[in-house]
Structure 1
Amino acid sequence: MCPPHLQPQEMQSTNTRPMTEDDTIPDCVPSDTLSLAAYAHAFGNLHPAILAHSLRVWLFAKVLAQREEPEYATDRRMHLLFIACIFHDMGSCSAYNGSQRFEVEGADAAMQGLLAPHVAERDAHDVWVAIALHTSPGIAERISPLARLIRIAVIIDFKRPAAMRFTSEKEVEAIEAEFPRGEIEKVLRDAVVDQVLGMETAEASDAKAPAATWAGLMVRSKRANPEWNGVNKAF
């Protein structure tokens, strides 16, 4: 499938790696206009390993939705699930490296650049919440069905033991064969931590990665192990 030529104008300008006619969109991406625009924007901004992670999250979430939240497996709402998946780590890229937590930056990017002009306010808010809370265990699983799908799919991809009952070894192998893992744990850690360490003041760093958050834990581990270049010891 050729890349879409129509994207929301405010999103086009931030793409650092625009799609060309030689780039193909994976068959798993929904064919509606918003999903295609969301994929093109993710392709243009996310590190390839983070893009592949986001697509794996989408596939895990879609299968889970078919079993437990079938409304998000229908054409009427599937685009909301896809956008939440493909944008959940958008705050890790340079285009959205703002002063807020990376989860919030990604949620705002989806809301302001893609959702707000095109979907109902309640649906847009549900996507915002799902992205903003995807690293918040115990909250994301209960605040909304969409947030629960995203949270569980994310921790499936990172092979957290509590989540593996929602999938199977065969399913994981098939999805990872389609979108290989690469060094996602290291790539995502580096992207998030480098943003925080690049803030101009300690106060700004603390605001971007509060101590009790996932990013805060990654930063604290990096500072405690500055010479370590493998997967973050707190991941």
Structure 2
Amino acid sequence: MSDTIAGIRVPDSAIARAATQLVRDTEDDLLYHHSRRVFLWGALTGERRRLKYDPELLYLGAMFHDMGLTERHSSPDLRFEVDGANAARDFMRQYGVPERDVEDVWTAIALHTTPGIPEHMRPTIALVTAGVEMDVLGVAYDDFTPEQREHVCAHHPREADFKEGIIGRFADGIRHKPATTFGNVKADVLALMVPGYRRMNFCSIILGSAWPN
């Protein structure tokens, strides 16, 4: 039987169960509970906005969205979001998921740290980012009832030091490839956590390019 949390039924298909097990085998408790909460916040947002979304696709996007932070799925030179998206794509293809759905989940994961764009895209893409933004940044916190917040966190608790902990997981997952933070929010993570880190500057790159004018 599937869990129902804050009125949201957690997908219990074969692919959803396999994704859950993979995350459990690959990520620590902090990232696992975070990923499940991302699904629930995203689904609750979809219900509130009356969006027609596919819960299974949303679940897969949520469960894989931080997979690129893990050693098993981290590449030497791609953004961690792309690593997670690639892992989800490979996983979904093993189950014969239609390519349009694979593309939606891939895009949802790849764009989940790019504010201002996913919200204008298809529901899977928009809702993964909405879930991430709620859980990490507290965006739209007051749009959820206290009962919803309490029920979700009772099933998937936030660790006492979750705020510092999630920043630490971000840093650990990307410190070996600092160039991948150019132009995205993870530059803020390395600026806080990695001594000597220097941000790449967009204007400096333009002015220093090989073009004569």
SS in structure 2 at match of 1:31: coil
| CA deviation map 1:81-134 (0-9, x unaligned) | 110111111111111111211111101100012246521111110111111111
Match of 2:86 among 108, 120, 125: 108
Work out the CA distance in 2 between the residues paired with 1:144 and 1:105. Answer: 21
* TM-score of the pair, normalised by structure 1: 0.73
1:59 maps to 40
Instruction: Quote the offset at 1:65 in angstroms.
Output: 2.1
Work out the CA distance in 1 between the residues paired with 2:13 and 2:62. Answer: 15
Work out the CA distance in 2 between the residues paired with 1:117 and 1:126. Answer: 16
SS in structure 2 at match of 1:71: coil
Work out the CA distance in 2 between the residues paired with 1:34 and 1:107. Answer: 16
The answer as to whether partners of 2:118 and 2:126 remain within 8 angstroms in 1 is yes
2:19 maps to 38
Amino acid at match of 1:205: P
SS in structure 1 at match of 2:12: coil
**Percent identity at matched positions?**
28
- Structure-to-structure mapping, 1:45-124, within 5 angstroms: 45-72=26-53, 77-98=54-75, 99-115=77-93, 117-124=95-102
SS in structure 2 at match of 1:181: coil
Quick one: structure 1 residues 195 and 31, their matched pair in 2 at CA, closer, same or farther if it must change by over 3 Å?
Answer: closer
Q: How many pairs does the alignment contain?
A: 191
SS in structure 1 at match of 2:194: helix
Unpaired runs of at least 5, structure 2? 198-213
C-alpha RMSD of matched pairs (Å):
2.3
Looking at both structures, which has the greater relative contact order when contacts are Cα pairs under 8 Å and sequence separation is at least 6? 2
SS in structure 1 at match of 2:119: helix
SS in structure 2 at match of 1:158: helix
2:149 maps to 172
- Structure-to-structure mapping, 1:85-234, within 5 angstroms: 85-98=62-75, 99-115=77-93, 117-160=95-138, 162-182=139-159, 183-197=161-175, 199=176, 204-206=177-179, 208-210=180-182, 212-223=183-194
The answer as to whether partners of 2:51 and 2:123 remain within 8 angstroms in 1 is no
Work out the CA distance in 1 between the residues paired with 2:165 and 2:37. Answer: 16
| CA deviation map 1:146-187 (0-9, x unaligned) | 221111111111353x42243122211221111110133333
The answer as to whether partners of 1:156 and 1:167 remain within 8 angstroms in 2 is no
Unpaired runs of at least 5, structure 1? 2-24, 227-235
Instruction: Quote the offset at 1:67 in angstroms.
Output: 3.1
Work out the CA distance in 1 between the residues paired with 2:27 and 2:127. Answer: 21
The answer as to whether partners of 2:65 and 2:81 remain within 8 angstroms in 1 is yes
The answer as to whether partners of 2:39 and 2:62 remain within 8 angstroms in 1 is yes
* TM-score of the pair, normalised by structure 2: 0.80
